[in-house]
Chain A
């Protein structure tokens, strides 16, 4: 089962390796991990997608909470958050197929960001399902390379992960 965690950490050197190390050490599987600075430059946010049952997720949450540079861990409930991922897809394509691929891109709201004689590169932002749909549509042409940034997630509504994050 896929679970999405939103983790606020102190923006210090070495924190990413500590968090990543925890996952390998305790035998947890990371599907994706995206990290970036927040509205407060002292705090970074990691969005981590973990594969595992409820027991695994509970341990992940608790073990993350034990780490000193970890400020807040939130396991996001399905349906309560928005999730989106940025991908670049290089697809093999002959010139006469350009129109077909451009059609798919338009349909999926992807942009074509690079054109070469034997390939097109698409830039796409969407959730896991839509990303899979796009990849599925492009597969018959021959996907040469995929670069995915990892899922980002944010809770719906006006709630924030850490209401007092500005003060922290």
Chain B
């Protein structure tokens, strides 16, 4: 198994050992493949996800059987919803004990069936090279996703006659199409030329396809304005003139208005989930839709489509740019640009209130960050504050957009930093989410990873509380997080320096000091519990 990882060029795995995976760990101990010991298994998957997103190769996480494997499930599901390539390796009880409910046995391939792109229960070590080769291929091609490999202990111990790693994969039922259909692309080009109010809408698929250059080239040539979903954030430089902002329930009004007003929307790698477009059918009734996606099942799933193009967005956009003449009509472009210019970002410092106003502070923080910095945003109010004010020119925005998994940001940031050691990595989270994975401060410390954590502390589950305020008569059921620790002391206990701020000027000065030093750091911002998300 370790040889398979070496053959795949894996340099780093994230995991947590246990009895059923000991044979693998024993081989890993003698290998050049490095191991990052997380403090809870779910975070192994999140860290591997952060790693995969920055390294552009599948992230690998390893746990033992039973609870080790079941703890991993949320992490696997998180990666599945965001189409992140992941290889999850789990130990399993000895084959002859399978199905007998012995100690630390769990049917993990069964439990993960709906969250994995594919899974294997390996019953003969001779199959391991083929299984690993297939798993890496499946995880990283087509629409990426997590692949689970469950290996009983006796299979891990089984001697293999001679090891040879296959060069090619042959899977009868798996041949993802990458080249878009030429006729559909021509139809799309005609529709673009005929459109009066065309708009590009980019989702996470553009990030996964590495299609940033092609997107900018296409948008640059045609002058078609661009909106992104949260998962597509960072694909268009924030200062790009045609960029209108993020759409969605918590997006910018001007971007959502452009979606409503457009007569042609080119969806690129976006599944138009309910948080991005609340009523896709209403839009598709009046608007022509071109949908480009590598996954045929996405097309027509949530929105009726006029021109479907199944393929790699990078290749399709390149061809589409070549086939398209003319540029987007001026009145439309000027209108959406004017609406964008009129958009005033929300939130302003309220000095003397005893609180940091998060939106204006985050704008200031992002302005100070390096132009290619990586931002890991957790889930909840802090995520929306970060997304709506993200201003890092060539930056990356990593978040759990699909599943909305609290606690994602810190382990993902550790993984991202290890994949891209030369890029600045900042993690923004609320105190609810942070407490779900704060045990990873130990991993951070152990790895000496230079990750800056900005913690928005309001002692509340802010976003749920806001819903309770709006829709449940202000009955704040179980959203009071009072009892949280002194986070500075907590960080200090791990040997991680920290500061706490109770006003924007304070927070900005502290952020300056934080970004100016190397090594992990925690900045705690006191935030008003009544601070709105938007």
**A residues adjacent to B (C-beta < 8 A):** 9-10, 14, 17-18, 21, 25, 55, 58-59, 62-63, 65-72, 168
Smallest CB–CB gap between A46 and chain B, Å?
13
In the complex the two chains form, is B110's CB within 8 Å of A68's CB? Answer: no
In the complex the two chains form, is A14's CB within 8 Å of B300's CB? Answer: no
- Give CA–CA (A71, B172) in the complex, Å: 6
Chain B residues with CB below 8 A from A18, complex form: 113
Q: A25-B114, A69-B173 are in contact. List 20 more A-B contacts (CB 8 A).
A: A10-B172, A10-B173, A14-B121, A17-B110, A18-B113, A55-B300, A59-B297, A59-B300, A62-B296, A62-B297, A62-B301, A65-B296, A66-B296, A66-B297, A67-B173, A68-B117, A68-B118, A68-B171, A70-B173, A71-B172
- Give CA–CA (A108, B173) in the complex, Å: 41
- Give CA–CA (A17, B111) in the complex, Å: 12
- Give CA–CA (A59, B113) in the complex, Å: 18
Q: Is B174 an interface residue (CB 8 A)?
A: yes
Give chain B's interface secondary structure class.
loop
Smallest CB–CB gap between B308 and chain A, Å?
11
- Give CA–CA (A17, B114) in the complex, Å: 11
**B residues adjacent to A (C-beta < 8 A):** 109-110, 113-114, 117-118, 121, 138, 171-174, 295-297, 300-301
Looking at the complex, which one of A9, A21, A72 makes contact with B113 (CB distance below 8 Å)? Answer: A21
Smallest CB–CB gap between A20 and chain B, Å?
10
- Give CA–CA (A59, B302) in the complex, Å: 10
Chain B residues with CB below 8 A from A55, complex form: 300
Q: Which residue of A lies closest to B176 (CB)?
A: A66
In the complex the two chains form, is A17's CB within 8 Å of B113's CB? Answer: yes
13 A-B pairs (CB sep. < 8 Å): A10-B173, A21-B113, A55-B300, A58-B300, A59-B297, A62-B301, A63-B297, A65-B296, A66-B295, A66-B297, A68-B117, A71-B172, A71-B173
- Give CA–CA (A33, B300) in the complex, Å: 26
Chain B residues with CB below 8 A from A58, complex form: 300
Chain A residues with CB below 8 A from B171, complex form: 68
In the complex the two chains form, is B173's CB within 8 Å of A9's CB? Answer: yes
Most buried by B among A62, A65, A72: A62
Q: Which residue of A lies closest to B297 (CB)?
A: A62
Smallest CB–CB gap between B301 and chain A, Å?
6
Chain B residues with CB below 8 A from A68, complex form: 117-118, 138, 171, 173-174
Chain B residues with CB below 8 A from A14, complex form: 109, 121
- Give CA–CA (A59, B303) in the complex, Å: 12
- Give CA–CA (A10, B114) in the complex, Å: 19
- Give CA–CA (A55, B305) in the complex, Å: 12
Chain A residues with CB below 8 A from B114, complex form: 21, 25
Chain B residues with CB below 8 A from A72, complex form: 173
Q: Which residue of A lies closest to B295 (CB)?
A: A66
- Give CA–CA (A20, B114) in the complex, Å: 11
Chain B residues with CB below 8 A from A25, complex form: 114
Chain A residues with CB below 8 A from B109, complex form: 14
- Give CA–CA (A58, B305) in the complex, Å: 13
- Give CA–CA (A168, B110) in the complex, Å: 27
Chain A residues with CB below 8 A from B121, complex form: 14
Looking at the complex, which one of A59, A67, A70, A168 makes contact with B301 (CB distance below 8 Å)? Answer: A59
Smallest CB–CB gap between A97 and chain B, Å?
48
- Give CA–CA (A25, B115) in the complex, Å: 11
Smallest CB–CB gap between A10 and chain B, Å?
7
Chain B residues with CB below 8 A from A59, complex form: 297, 300-301
In the complex the two chains form, is B295's CB within 8 Å of A168's CB? Answer: no
Most buried by A among B109, B174, B296, B297: B297
- Give CA–CA (A127, B377) in the complex, Å: 57
Chain B residues with CB below 8 A from A63, complex form: 297
Chain B residues with CB below 8 A from A69, complex form: 173
Chain A residues with CB below 8 A from B300, complex form: 55, 58-59
Query: 3 smallest A-B Cβ distances: which pairs?
Result: A62-B297, A71-B173, A68-B118
Smallest CB–CB gap between B289 and chain A, Å?
15
Smallest CB–CB gap between A5 and chain B, Å?
15
Smallest CB–CB gap between B296 and chain A, Å?
5
Chain B residues with CB below 8 A from A70, complex form: 173
- Give CA–CA (A17, B109) in the complex, Å: 11
Most buried by B among A68, A70, A168: A68
Chain A residues with CB below 8 A from B295, complex form: 66
Q: Which residue of A lies closest to B113 (CB)?
A: A21
Chain B residues with CB below 8 A from A65, complex form: 296-297
Most buried by A among B113, B121, B172, B300: B172
Smallest CB–CB gap between B200 and chain A, Å?
24
Chain B residues with CB below 8 A from A67, complex form: 173
Chain A residues with CB below 8 A from B296, complex form: 62, 65-66
- Give CA–CA (A62, B143) in the complex, Å: 13
Smallest CB–CB gap between B147 and chain A, Å?
9
- Give CA–CA (A58, B302) in the complex, Å: 12
Chain A residues with CB below 8 A from B110, complex form: 17
Chain A residues with CB below 8 A from B174, complex form: 68
Most buried by B among A25, A59, A66: A66
